[in-house]
Structure 1
């Protein structure tokens, strides 16, 4: 007997990280962990490890669009998550697809550089991102460094959030992992104002793929029908737990455990558990 699909579906359009820590690999693990069916369209092949990106090859925009349309015409997608989009042609192709699906919420992780510091997007692509994609976003999730790059005229993060709203994004979530604050602060903006300020304990270490995890988790929560504020809260909590139980897969940054809830020791105090290295 054939069973009906019990899972809402989410489409990620992002790059492939061969280390499995970020990009589509991180998105699909996050989707599965949060109970959604993950679909993927590949935008780039990267050469990277847990330390940094060493290079990448952009996919042909026609092929990216063909992958996405094949999924969208077959599966009822409830949310779309965008990650690494390394060419203007790919951004244009994605923007054209989004015009055909205006009711699907879009979460954009504006991947501008890798966790190890390597640049992934040239300056001219930032302008294309702001013009082609931000006006379509239900949520854009820059870290503080990316927010400053996207809104260079802003003199603080609150001004950057307002500037990104002015460019057309419906909600903006700026994460503060790179900021010198005792706690990790994230700022959610909507309707021309700072809507929420979230504070979480700052964990020691450097992590590979936290931005991918957070944005994918928001998309998954939206696919389950949560409103944006609850989706962001759910995603922040999920990402924090994944980071608490991060593990060392290679010689570089730690990998968040997106299946932390399946650990036998998940109910222990994570501050004294395997997430601390």
Structure 2
């Protein structure tokens, strides 16, 4: 039996709730083998980001080379890339190793408002990585930055999805968790011809740290397991909803706590 393999290229969260830590927890929970190439080390906890230390772009490339030359990856999931130099290196490695699918979570702004990617790097990501993505998964803030649109309604989300599709992404998922005045959390999938809406009643919890990383990683895991994009998003939405509900059983930190990634694996003994 060959286990599906997913490589995450993203930043490290010292608090364990987001970044590669969330990615690897999600991969394990969804039954795939996870690997990582770290782009930046963050000093971070549930109250916010206290510091970011990007790794040299050449060393990010070396990590990717090490994984791909030996273990290989069916899917590559991309998160926080920190700067333009790292984006350039990651782009070159993707063109070289040609993974089956690339999942792009364009991490730009932390939940507390800390900027994680400068404007020039955002434009580089839009030009170089979006066209390589099988699916891109921006939240509303990221979709606004990438498209220049005001996004306050589901119809606005659909317009943003079309623009990102036209920039080269084969599928676009706009996450509507930050949509104002909505009792439901609605995500929109656009595949170039059809819109699909995934809607669940909004869960009242402050334990939302790492939701974007977890959602994109769950999509990556399901694609690696052979699901099509619609099923991958549907299952990922179900998983993250359950992980959010189960987070009420955790008491971690003073701010926005993490999801309960392993809710279905915890022993009842």
Please indicate the TM-score interval, normalised by the length of the shorter structure.
Answer: over 0.9
Contact 1:112 1:146 in 2 (8 A): yes
Task: Tell me, in whole angstroms, the C-alpha distance in 1 between the residues paired with 2:267 and 2:95.
Answer: 45
The equivalent of 2:22 in structure 1 is 26
What secondary structure sits across from 1:54 in the alignment?
Answer: strand
Aligned to 1:133, the other structure's residue is in SS state: helix
Q: Please state how far the C-alpha of 1:115 moved relative to its aligned partner.
A: 1.6
Aligned position for 1:204: 204
Q: Which residue does 2:179 correspond to in 1?
A: 179
2:110 alignment partner in structure 1: 114
| Secondary structure of the structure 2 residue equivalent to 1:170 | coil
- What SS does the corresponding residue of 1:255 show, helix, strand or coil? coil
Q: Is the 8 A contact 1:109 1:142 kept in 2?
A: yes
Once the two structures are superposed, residues 15-52 of structure 1 have per-residue CA deviations (whole angstroms, 9 ceiling, x without a partner) of: 01000000000000000001111100000011111111
Distance in 2, Cα, partners of 1:228 & 1:101: 22
Give yes or no for contact 1:17–1:25 (8 Å, CA) kept in 2: yes
Where does structure 2 lack aligned partners over 5 or more consecutive residues?
A: none
**Structure 2: how far apart are the matches of 1:40 and 1:235?**
20
After TM superposition, the structure 1 = structure 2 runs for residues 185-196 of structure 1, keeping only pairs within 5 Å, are: 185-191=186-192, 193-196=193-196
Distance 1:256 1:103 in 2: 29
TM-score w.r.t. structure 1 length? Answer: 0.90
Partner of 1:258: 261
Q: Which whole-Å CA distance do the structure 1 matches of 2:72 and 2:125 have between them? A: 26
C-alpha contact (below 8 Å) 2:77/2:103 kept by paired residues: yes
Normalised by the length of structure 2, the TM-score is 0.93
Deviation at 1:64, TM superposition (A): 0.3
The two structures, once aligned, show a CA RMSD in angstroms of: 1.4
Say if 1:141 and 1:172, in contact at 8 Å, map to a contact too: yes
Q: 1:143 maps to which residue?
A: 139
Name 2:37's counterpart in structure 1.
Answer: 41
Tell me the residue number matched to 1:167. Answer: 167
User: Do 1:141 and 1:173's aligned partners in 2 also have CA atoms closer than 8 Å?
Assistant: yes
Residue equivalent to 1:102 = 98
Report the Cα distance in structure 2 between the residues aligned to 1:158 and 1:195, rounded to whole angstroms: 8
Counterpart contact for 2:75–2:99, Cα < 8 Å = no
**Could you tell me which of 83, 90, 94 is aligned with 1:87?**
83
CA distance in 2, matches of 1:7, 1:237: 22
Residue 13 (1) aligns with residue 3 (2): no
Residues 2-22 of structure 1 show CA distances to partners (whole Å, capped at 9, x for unaligned) of xx6x42110000001000000
